[in-house]
């Protein structure tokens, strides 16, 4: 009976996802519709699409378990940072300007934006190659958090889980494009919001509620980490500096990830951006804050967990293993929601980038709208298949190389794109050369960190620390190089920024203005 209930929950979940895909077909008949939903997506769908693309199984199972174990309850700061920096400030600083300038430049992808912003085909091609190289392993990592949960809940092989998730995601993305992804993200986001609250309450109840769990955490001492009593329930945990690096990487990094920034391209109106900011921030506080808060109590289950033998990915599944069958079913759907929403966003970003920025005009001349949409649909299948194969290969071979490649993907993408994109929206003097230098610095630094890590300074040997450094360094590199390199044409830049200067009459209810 318990197994039947779990299966019914999964069948209903998958049925809704597929139904939404076919319902959204009417929005995916041309390039703008398939990639951006016609730039007419409202605040709720955009905010949830942003949040669900942000938080995947990597966060819920991997990062929450790993950093909760390392920092204790202080890992909650990571979730707070994700909400304030990764969501609130990202929407406030990037949202409006991204929407206006990308429409003005008629760009649907981040590489296309760089190409139009700097009138440079080379920048467009280079950035699309970086996206192609580093999004695939990041996509493959999404499957990792599912293996133990599916084994615990259904006792089925991880390979079956990968195949099911891949096929169903491919169906609804191919059928409905961005709109199907956005609607499904909204549904999946509701599941994530409800699920994380219920799971936290259930897990804390096992150890005597919130107060009892905090008290238990205060009694845990790990001399290899710290000799200070109660460090795992302290304000900043045993290693505040490392905690800060994690906050920077996982929060500021979203500003430079193509699949995240692309959400701003599609939002419908000015008022929708303001509403989306509030909704997205609330979503991040509950989901990200909840995930890391839950992970902070992982050491209360240390008697059942062998991190040395089974890795950090075993922590969260072990914490959940004693829950009731219906709650375990909810957790599986929660993690599936997190994974499928991020997977759909990544493959859509990858397929659109490869089609619009590499294949179109470079390989196939005069590519019609119909052929572009067909190409993107074919590439959705290609990227999902490749990521699934990588995930299966890693699972069967326990390849550390692939695991490391997944770890540097976020740092490489954000390290390459964050600073050039941010300055390009605000500063007319940003130069093409500064973008090239930042692209090369971010991608080469993170690749070197993966291949020759022991030769790095101790503090930068961690991919997390190195990725955070790459992002912050880019914020210095771009203005410095821009000040000493050839300035762009004044007329051209004025034309790019003219989108911010257009006059528009508004009602007094929207803008008080000067008194008559």
CA distance 510 to 37: 26
Collect all residues with Cβ–Cβ distance below 8 Å to 108 and sequence separation of at least 6: 31, 32, 35, 36, 102, 262, 265, 352, 356
Asked whether 343 and 161 are in contact (CB, 8 A), the reply is no
Collect all residues with Cβ–Cβ distance below 8 Å to 407 and sequence separation of at least 6: 450, 463, 464
CA distance 291 to 65: 9
CA distance 338 to 288: 11
Residue 243 has what DSSP assignment? H
Which phi and psi angles does 183 have, rounded to 5°?
A: -65, -45
CA distance 14 to 172: 10
Give Cα separations from 2 to 8, 198, 206, 252, 328 (angstroms). Answer: 10, 19, 21, 42, 10
CA distance 173 to 356: 17
* Residuewise pLDDT in 10s, the chain (516 residues): 567 777 787 888 888 888 988 888 877 778 888 887 767 778 888 898 888 888 877 777 778 888 999 999 999 999 999 999 999 999 999 999 999 999 899 888 899 999 999 999 999 999 999 998 888 877 777 776 666 666 666 667 778 878 888 888 889 889 888 888 888 888 888 988 888 888 888 888 888 888 888 888 888 888 777 777 788 888 888 889 989 988 988 899 899 999 889 889 888 877 889 899 999 999 999 999 999 999 999 888 888 887 777 777 778 888 887 778 788 778 778 877 877 888 888 888 888 888 888 888 888 888 888 899 899 999 999 988 888 888 788 777 766 555 566 668 888 999 999 999 999 999 999 999 999 999 999 999 999 998 898 999 988 988 888 999 999 999 999 999 999 998 888 899 999 999 888 776 766 655 555 544
DSSP reduced 3-state for 41: strand
Quick one: tokens of 274? 């303001």
Which phi and psi angles does 31 have, rounded to 5°?
A: -65, -50
Helix/strand/coil percentages in the chain, nearest 5? 80, 0, 20
Q: The tokens 């995240």 sit on which residue?
A: 260
Instruction: Encode burial over 283-296: b for 16+ CB neighbours within 10 A, e otherwise.
Output: bbbbbbbbbbbbbb
Structural domains in the chain, CATH included, are: 2-500 (1.20.1730.10)
CA distance 241 to 236: 9
Asked whether 276 and 267 are in contact (CB, 8 A), the reply is yes
Angle between helices 2-23 and 325-353 (to 10 degrees): 30
pLDDT, position 398: 66
DSSP reduced 3-state for 501: coil
Asked whether 253 and 411 are in contact (CB, 8 A), the reply is yes
């Amino acid at each position: 009976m318990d197994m039947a209930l779990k299966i019914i929950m999964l069948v209903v979940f998958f049925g809704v996802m597929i139904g939404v895909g076919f319902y959204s077909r009417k929005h995916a008949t041309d390039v703008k519709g398939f990639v951006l939903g016609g730039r007419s997506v409202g605040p709720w769908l955009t905010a949830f699409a942003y949040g669900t693309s942000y938080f995947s199984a990597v966060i819920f199972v991997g990062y929450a378990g790993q950093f909760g174990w390392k920092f204790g309850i202080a890992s909650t700061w990571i979730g707070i940072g994700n909400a304030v920096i990764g969501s609130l400030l990202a929407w406030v600083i990037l949202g409006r300007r991204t929407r206006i300038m990308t429409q003005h430049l008629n760009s649907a992808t981040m590489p296309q934006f760089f190409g139009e912003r700097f009138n440079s085909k080379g920048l467009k091609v280079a950035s699309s190659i970086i996206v192609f190289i580093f999004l695939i392993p990041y996509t493959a990592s999404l499957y990792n958090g599912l293996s133990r949960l599916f084994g615990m809940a259904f006792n089925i092989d991880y390979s079956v889980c990968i195949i099911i998730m891949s096929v169903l995601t491919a169906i609804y993305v191919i059928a409905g494009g961005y709109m199907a992804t956005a609607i499904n993200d909204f549904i999946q986001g509701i599941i994530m919001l409800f699920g994380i609250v219920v799971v936290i309450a259930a897990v804390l109840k096992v150890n005597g509620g919130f107060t009892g769990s905090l008290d238990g955490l205060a009694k845990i001492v790990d001399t290899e980490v710290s000799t200070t009593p109660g460090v795992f329930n302290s304000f900043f945990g045993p290693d505040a500096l490392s905690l800060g690096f994690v906050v920077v990487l996982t929060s500021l990094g979203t500003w430079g990830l193509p699949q995240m920034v692309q959400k701003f391209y599609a939002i419908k109106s000015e008022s929708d951006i303001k509403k989306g900011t509030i909704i997205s921030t609330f979503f991040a506080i509950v989901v990200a804050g909840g995930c890391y808060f839950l992970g902070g109590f992982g050491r209360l289950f240390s008697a059942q967990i062998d991190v040395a033998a089974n890795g950090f990915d075993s922590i969260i599944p072990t914490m959940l293993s004693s829950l009731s069958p219906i709650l375990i079913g909810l957790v599986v759907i929660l993690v599936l929601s997190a994974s499928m929403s991020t997977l759909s966003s990544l493959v859509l970003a990858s397929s659109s980038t490869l089609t619009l920025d590499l294949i179109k005009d470079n390989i196939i001349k005069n590519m019609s709208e119909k052929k572009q949409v067909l190409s993107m649909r074919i590439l959705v299948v290609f990227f999902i298949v490749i990521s699934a194969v990588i995930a299966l290969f890693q699972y069967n071979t326990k390849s550390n190389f692939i695991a490391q490649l997944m770890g540097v993907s976020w740092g490489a993408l954000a390290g390459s794109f964050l600073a050039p994109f941010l300055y390009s929206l605000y500063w007319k003097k940003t130069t093409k050369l500064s973008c090239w230098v930042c692209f090369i610095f971010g991608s080469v630094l993170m690749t070197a960190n993966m291949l020759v890590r022991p030769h790095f300074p101790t503090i930068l040997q961690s991919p997390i620390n190195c990725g955070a450094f790459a992002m912050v360094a880019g914020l210095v590199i771009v203005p410095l190089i821009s000040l000493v390199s050839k300035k762009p044409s004044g007329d051209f830049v004025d034309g790019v920024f003219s989108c911010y200067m257009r006059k528009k009459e508004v009602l007094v209810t929207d803008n008080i203005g000067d008194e008559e």
